[in-house]
Amino acid sequence: KVIGRAGVGVDNVDVEAATERGVIVMNTPGGNTISTAEHAFSLMLAMARCIPQAHASMREGKWDRKSFTGIELYNKTLGVIGLGRIGSEFARRAIAFGMRVLAHDPFTSLSRARSLQVEMVDLDEIFARADVITVHMPLSDRTKGMVGREAFAKMKKGVRIINCARGGIVDEHALADALREGKVAAAALDVYEQEPFPADHPLRAFPQVVMTPHLGASTAEAQESVGIEIAEAIRTFLLKGEVLNAVNVPNVDSKTLAVIRPWLRLAERLGRGVSQLAPDRVEELTVNYCGAASEVNTQPVTRLVVKGFLERISGRDVNPVNAMVAAASLGIRVVESRTCALGSYTELLQVSATRGEETASMTATFFGSPDNPRIVRINGRTVEAAPEGVILLFANDDRPGIIGHIGTTLGRAGVNIASMTLSREKLGGPAVTALNLDSEPSLEVLKEVATHPTIHWAKVIKL
């Protein structure tokens, strides 16, 4: 049995219940890319030439040619935050209009950017140089409020803002203040922090804000495209047994599943963890197997690693079926390897993310049974942490008083330590400490942890 969703989101399907009942759930992740990119681009044009305002004036019976002076896009600098499928399509259209395109996406390779003829820069450079800024990122802890008061303070006076991605990436109240102060000349929005958009929201008071009610995918072509795509996927499954764009099941036979089953959930968590340690613009993601799993088809495990790695940062809904395509679209090579040294372990799964000489990695195994997984190495250093919940990781010098500082700081904030391991090279030398926590510490608490003179950095990893 199969359920098909003609669209990206499957919020209207109980995926967990379907999985429990052996029902495959499919979606159509790419069908609305062009429609959304075109809508965002049309909003930029409308905003640049004051088209909605001029139209409203004409409908009122006026003939006002002086109040709606706009700007040319030619030779303007565009900043694209998020160079996934939609961001890339937007950039192509902007280049055709003669715009200079800057882009920021920590997970898109430089070779991919060069192929699109865009210049990859850091976020602050986009804020400083761009005349128009458009966001095409998923909403996450990392991107929520990304374009806020601090960002507006770094921008040119007269900048224009577009958000057709997700409500919440642009801080709406900070945007209202920036419009009021004249820092932002105009804005174009299709998505909002609260939908339907409140009638009394302060942004409604600004005539230079172009707004549409979440119409990015609302075209006849997009609806037809996703309809045909899901119909073809269901037909292929029913006639051939092939699964395309499934969101809840990897493709694997029963014999292989018996071997890899313990690794499936752990794989996704390792990918998710490494994504939070990895350098920007990862070029290669390596999944290394040792033990029984290395002797069977490990593609389902690898795909779940990639899914976990990409789900926090990709501009698309990533699942085990489309994970490889999503990685390739970001210029990330995915490599399977079977070369790790077992040492004292019988099985190991190692995930590494690399850019140039920079590498981040996690290695995991099982202690005794598949119900007892453990992370046993982080960035090559021996640790012992449960791959679940919140992990506080920090690098420090092996000196007296650090554990007391950590315990006191977390205790004062009401954060309980579930377990802790300290890995040092030698007495008094460099060390890495990993703590499983029962709740996530605030940014302020994390900063206080890092104030200890022998702690070099501290990071929270959420699995």
Which positions are annotated as active-site residues?
A: 166, 195, 214
Backbone dihedral angles phi then psi of residue 96, each to the nearest 5 degrees: -65, -25
Distance CA 303, CA 359 (A): 20
Element (H, E) at 18: helix 15-20
Distance CA 130, CA 171 (A): 18
Q: How far is CA 179 from CA 54, 207, 237, 335, in A?
A: 19, 10, 52, 47
Give one DSSP letter per residue of 195-235, joined into a string. SSPPTT-GGGG-TTEEE-SS-TT-SHHHHHHHHHHHHHHHH
Please check whether residue 331 is in contact with residue 108, taking contact to mean a CB–CB distance below 8 angstroms.
Answer: yes
Amino acid at 217: A
Classify 452 as helix, strand or coil. coil
Cis peptide before 213 (omega within 30 of 0): no
Element (H, E) at 96: helix 85-96
User: Hey, which bits of 225-347 come out as E strands?
Assistant: 284-290, 333-337
- Calculate the CA 429 to chain-centre distance: 36
In this structure, what token pair is assigned to residue 440? 């996530």
In this structure, what token pair is assigned to residue 448? 């206080």
> What is the residue whose two structure tokens read 């990709």?
314
In this structure, what token pair is assigned to residue 112? 């991919």
Distance CA 418, CA 410 (A): 12
Q: How much is the CA Rg of the chain, to the nearest whole Å?
A: 25
The residue count for the chain: 463
Other CB atoms within 10 A of residue 32 CB: 23
Q: How far is CA 434 from CA 78, 328, 387, 431, 460, in A?
A: 42, 32, 11, 10, 10
